[in-house]
Amino acid sequence: MGTPHNEAPQGAFAKTVLMPGDPLRAKFIAETFLTDARLVNNVRGVQGYTGTYQGTPVSVMASGMGMPSIGIYSHELFHFYDVDNIIRVGSAGAISPKLKLRDVVMAQGACTDSDYAHQFGLPGTFAPIADFTLLETAVAVARRMGVEPPVGSLLSSDVFYNKAGNTMDWGKMGVLAIEMETAALYCNAAEAGKRALTICTISDSLVTGEELPPADRQTSFTQMMEIALGVAVEMAKK
């Protein structure tokens, strides 16, 4: 049984799914890191693959851009495909002067300007946070690779071209970087009783104006990808 957005049969996805925004990044991860990767979903060109990494079944599927898009795909993976862990592997823009290009950042929590959580009918403001087991495991895997990742809050925004020009204000509250998906992913995981974590690579800086070219965003964020794959292996042991 598929869904309106996923033609994969039941059992086609591993318990852990890596979720980049870009379908070409999903393809790159599958072809570069997975053994015997097979395409299991290509509805709307949102490519999903399943293979193995160091003997552990792992899937990778694109989320598209923005909270409505990752909201759809993560909901279906959690509820219809029995996926337990989704690790977003994406790009983010630094709003903290402490970060530099290519830094790997882990989202302990997600601030947002979105009204995504309104659907859950809560009498207040929900705080979307990462699953601690995934976060703790990711930090341990990164340290084994010689990486000390910054961990903190990201801003998940509905707006890429912000006409108000106030994005940097979030940095005053210690928010590290801005992206467009994590808050919805963390909300969906909480509602489903599943696990989620975002690991992002800094692709540009709103502080300095530096940015990486699009080709680098597709293929050069290998450190982030290897950390996420290492988490998948560790989670399979738990």
Q: Is the dihedral of CA 140, 144, 150, 156 positive or negative?
A: negative
Each domain of the chain, given as residue ranges in start order, spans 16-237
16-237: CATH class:
alpha beta
Could you tell me the pLDDT band of residue 26, with boundaries at 50, 70 and 90? very high
Predicted confidence (pLDDT) at residue 237 exceeds the cutoff of 60: yes
Q: How far is the C-alpha of 108 from the C-alpha of 209, rounded, in Å? A: 25
Work out the mean pLDDT of the chain and round it to a whole number.
Answer: 92
Task: Please tell me the predicted confidence (pLDDT) of residue 194.
Answer: 98
> Residues 46-104: pLDDT tens digits?
789 999 999 999 999 999 999 999 999 999 999 989 999 999 999 999 999 999 999 99
**Does the annotation count 158 as an active-site position?**
no
Greater confidence (33 vs 160) lies with 33
8-12, 103-107, 180-184: least confidently modelled range: 8-12
Q: Which of 56, 190, 204, 69 is nearest to 132 (CA)?
A: 190
What proportion of the chain, given as a percentage, has pLDDT over 70?
A: 93
> Residues 113-164: pLDDT tens digits?
999 999 999 999 999 999 999 999 999 999 999 999 999 999 999 998 888 8
Q: How far is the C-alpha of 99 from the C-alpha of 86, rounded, in Å? A: 25
b vs e for 137-163, b when ≥16 Cβ sit within 10 Å of the residue's Cβ? Answer: bbbebbeeeeeebbbbbbbbbbeeeee
Active-site option among 22, 84, 131, 204: 204
